[in-house]
Structure 1
Amino acid sequence: MPPDLKRASTGLLRAAGIAVPLLAGLAIGQLATPYLPDFSAWVQTLGMWAPLAFVVAYIGVVLFMLPAFLLNMAGGAVFGVMKGSALVLTGATIGGTLAFLLGRTILRTSVARRVAANPTLSAVDRVIGDDGLRLMFLLRLSPAIPFVLSNYALGVTRVRTRDFVMAMPGMLPIIASYAAFGAAGADAANGNGALPMSVLMLGVIATVVLGVFFVGITQRALRDAEARREA
């Protein structure tokens, strides 16, 4: 296959790998939209405990590797984009760190086999070192590895716990995107007007384009780090 065609095919596969889960999530979110007012009302009955209950629920979702994007959208719908994103990041950081530590200790043997079969994670394990924080931040910016799966898997690599935790804010762009979609769905369910389809699709396209961009940056950073290591 000619190099240009190969690069184009790789780009299309990356875009599809990001777009398909995102569109599936939005479709599921649309199905859940009619239930958002009742869900929001129930959450509000928890009063001051509502944010804590949400964070605890998100930690459970991360640990059991359930579809975290649904709660992400729910956070935007119930708490708004800013507060919802902050709560999701809190739950993701705590839950992700617990999963990371479990992968490093109790579940290490079973997780190690999966890491060996994943080229990106294997590359991370080979090249991680003083540059670990930058590489982890790039991994969080890019959807190169699904979040709920990567937490356990990264535990068996040489990623330092400090770098793992400090890189979590790299997830904020995708967290905010899902929270915004959830908030838009809540507005529609409450009769405040739905986002025009053109605006929604523009958001999807922007998310996919940025995702492909960051996947490329991450893979180049891993290749450069591996080349320096072998030099």
Structure 2
Amino acid sequence: MEGLGSVGALAFIALYIIATVAFLPGSILTLGAGVVFGVVMGSFYVFIGATIGATAAFLVGRYLARNWVAKKIADKKNFGAIDRAVGEEGFKIVLLTRLSPIFPFNLLNYAYGVTGVSLKDFVLASIGMIPGTIMYVYIGSLAGSIATIGTQSQPGNPNAQWAIRIIGFIATVAVTIYVTKLARKALETEVL
């Protein structure tokens, strides 16, 4: 994909959209984006693909598969409370569930389709995916870098490069965990 340039990026985004709509786990693709595209562009491509895929799933849940989705989520104990809260604070609740890894991303995309949340609030709240996206893409980029240890593609001082990568990784994980805890607390307050 990397060698295909912008065509590779578009192909990756299209693959991510399809995977999201098809209930396939995006974590493998997200890690792969870090290996292939690096942290910055990988995070950007994942965010675009995940946002478009989530929006497509939301629209399918709202208009094409509403009854099927309603049956799938009927027995989820947290969903009733989330549905009530979404009616009042759509953007905020979607944002908080995006920040918290407790909620399954793919199912939630369809489930929000049967709630009263507006499409605009749903799409705008996608910014909540950014911390987790960056963390997983960063992990993927580290894995890609580990694969090149001892090769010609690691110029300069490899010890300094690895120290920076490890510090960056620790900081990324710490921020993601902190944001997740804040989101979980805020969501518990909103839903209860």
TM-score range, shorter chain: 0.7 to 0.9
* Structure 1: stretches of 5+ with no match in the other structure: 1-42, 224-231
CA distance in 1, matches of 2:122, 2:94: 7
Q: Name the amino acid aligned to 2:59.
A: L
* CA distance, structure 2, for counterparts of residue 85 and residue 205 of structure 1: 18
RMSD over aligned CA atoms reads 2.3
1:220 counterpart residue number: 189
Work out whether 1:70 is the aligned partner of 2:28. Answer: yes
* 8 A Cα contact 1:81 1:180, kept in partner: yes
Task: Determine the structure 1 residue equivalent to 2:55.
Answer: 97
Where does residue 123 of structure 1 map in the other structure? Answer: 81
The answer to whether structure 1 residue 156 and structure 2 residue 114 are counterparts is: yes
Q: TM-score, normalised by structure 2?
A: 0.84
Change (3 A) 1:195 1:113: farther
Partner residue in 2 for 1:53: 11
1:81 aligns with 2:39: yes
Question: TM-score, normalized by length of structure 1?
Answer: 0.70
Kindly indicate whether residue 99 of structure 2 is the aligned counterpart of residue 141 of structure 1. yes
Is residue 17–residue 52 contact of structure 2 (8 Å, CA) maintained in 1?
yes
**Percentage of matched positions with identical amino acids:** 36
Q: How far is the alpha carbon of 1:206 from its aligned partner? A: 5.8
- Please list the CA deviations of residues 91-140 of structure 1 after superposition, one character each: whole Å capped at 9, or x if unmatched: 01111011011111221111102222223321122232352111111111
Q: CA deviation at 1:203?
A: 5.8
CA contact (8 A) 2:58 2:112 kept: yes
Cα distance between partner residues in 1 of 2:130 and 2:138 = 12
